[in-house]
Amino acid sequence: MKSYTEYITFNTRRRRELVHITDRVQEAVDKSGIREGMVLVSAMHITAAVFVNDNEPGLHQDIWDWLEGLAPYRPDYRHHRTGEDNGDAHLKSLLIHHQVILPITDGRLDLGPWQRIFYAEFDGQRPKRMVIKVIGE
C-alpha cells in the first residue's frame, strides 16, 4: 500500500467563507499515482470544516443560514471570556465536522453526479491549513 500527503494553506478574504476544493483534491489524487483507495480530506483547525454536497449557491446560503440559526454569532459565549470572539465558529465546526473520507476508483474521486468537496471557514482572514492524505494501491 502507498500513501501521499499534501498540505494546503487557505487565507480567506472573509471571516466566514466556503471554498470549493474538489479539483484540488483530485490533483492530489493524480499526484499520488494511487488508482484504488481512499482519500482523507481534513481541516487542521477547530473553527473550520470539510464536507461533501451540491455546488449550488442557493444551497450554500441555506447551509450558512442553518448554521447561523443553530450557532449564531453573539458576544456572550463563555469561550469569549478567554479573549477570543469565535465561540460560534467552534460550534459550527462541530455541526459539519472537520473531515471526510472519499473513495478512489480507477484514479478518480468516486463521487456521485452532484457531489463536490468544500472547505468551510468559520473564523478566517488568516492562514489555515488542510491535509489531504491519499492511501491505496
State the CATH class of domain 2-136: mainly beta
Domain ranges of the chain: 2-136
Mean of per-residue pLDDT scores for the chain: 97
- Contact yes or no for 11/128 (Cβ under 8 A): yes
Q: Is the pLDDT of residue 10 over 90?
A: no
User: For residue range 43-91, what is the model confidence (pLDDT) as tens digits?
Assistant: 999 999 999 999 999 999 999 999 999 999 999 999 999 999 999 999 9
Q: How confident is the model at residue 93 (pLDDT cuts 50, 70, 90)?
A: very high
